[in-house]
Amino acid sequence: MIFYPNAKINLGLRIAGRRPDGYHDLETVFYPVGWCDILEIVPAPGRSYRVRFTVSGLPLPGRRRDNLVVRAVELLRQRYALPPLRIHLHKQIPAGAGLGGGSADAAITLQGVVALLQLPAGDDDLHRMALTLGSDVPFFLLNRPALATGRGEELTPLPLSLEGYHLLIVFPAIPLNTGRMFRETRPQKHPLPPRRAVALPPEQWKGKLVNDFEPTATTLAPAIGTIVDTLYRAGAVYASLSGSGSAVYGIFREAPPPLSWPEGYLIWSEEL
């Protein structure tokens, strides 16, 4: 079976404070977008391996056996008798971009293996397993606009639609480490919390919908600030860093004009 794990963008991000468990309380709005990886999962009966995981496309950091796809399979294997599996991931969502690509791959692996093998795992089971893999992994099981609070795992679906707007995402090929971003970021002043800001038309989001990570990201990678400025000059009604970065997105009322970007940048555009 072939699946298409999709990315998300963050509409605003407020760091409410550090928790006793070492995580941070957040408030953000996750919005799914069409930038996808391609994931193939097939049974491999008679093989000696538990899971054979191969990758093509964009480079992935770290060891293959530590990838969230493999960890998702092993999590299921702790609960169910799984046959050997062969999994191939064609990576198109860049790592370290704040787009949730790795989390999406993990969530869709859980769903995909359950569907392929007809395992008796319910939604609550999948949510619990997803949360052990990462705070935003459960979102990709829901995969609709949602307010995320707590560590990012407490999800409240929102009646939010950007249908008819145009989205342009720019990744400057400068991965940012999430741990470092949390260590070096200080909460910003929010005119409105994200849940209230997104209730306004996107034309009113500038100056009201704030991502606490953006000043830190711009300091570490000045190209991020340049991208935001370029998107606004090109007519974006709103532009922001996604999550902890370093991808930046712009929301346009009309299709954005052709723009020239430095070599090595990755670009995604779609009508929402």
Question: What pLDDT does 69 receive?
Answer: 98
Q: How far apart are CA 103 and CA 258, in angstroms?
A: 31
* Euclidean distance between CA atoms 199 and 188, whole angstroms: 20
Token reading at 178: 């999430």
Q: How far apart are CA 243 and CA 265, in angstroms?
A: 18
CA nearest neighbour of 195 among 5, 23, 10: 10
| Tokens found for residue 21 | 């468990």
Q: Where are the domains of the chain?
A: 2-156, 166-271
Which one is catalytic: 105, 136, 212, 229? Answer: 136
Structure confidence at residue 70 as a pLDDT band (50, 70, 90): very high
Mean pLDDT, rounded, for 64-91: 96
CB 144 within 8 A of CB 29: no
Is 37 annotated as catalytic? Answer: no
pLDDT at 21: 64
The yes-or-no answer on residue 8 being catalytic is: yes
Least confident of 59-63, 211-215, 222-226, 256-260: 59-63
Question: Which carries the bigger pLDDT value, residue 233 or residue 178?
Answer: 233
Instruction: Name the active-site residue from 8, 37, 91, 105.
Output: 8
Is residue 22 over pLDDT 60? Answer: no
The widest CA-to-CA distance across the chain, in whole angstroms, is 60
Q: What is the pLDDT of residues 131-159, one digit of tens each?
A: 999 999 999 999 999 999 987 889 999 99
Residue 148: alpha-carbon gap to chain centroid:
12
Share of the chain above pLDDT 90, in %: 82
List the one residue out of 251, 161, 270 whose CA is nearest residue 206. 251
Does the domain formed by 166-271 have CATH 3.30.70.890? yes
Give the gyration radius of the chain's Cα atoms: 19
Question: What is the pTM (predicted TM-score) of this model?
Answer: 0.94
Q: Find the mean pLDDT for residues 66-77.
A: 96
Domain 2-156, CATH number (from 3.30.230.10, 3.30.720.110, 3.40.50.300, 3.30.413.10) = 3.30.230.10
Judged by DSSP in three states, 17 sits in strand
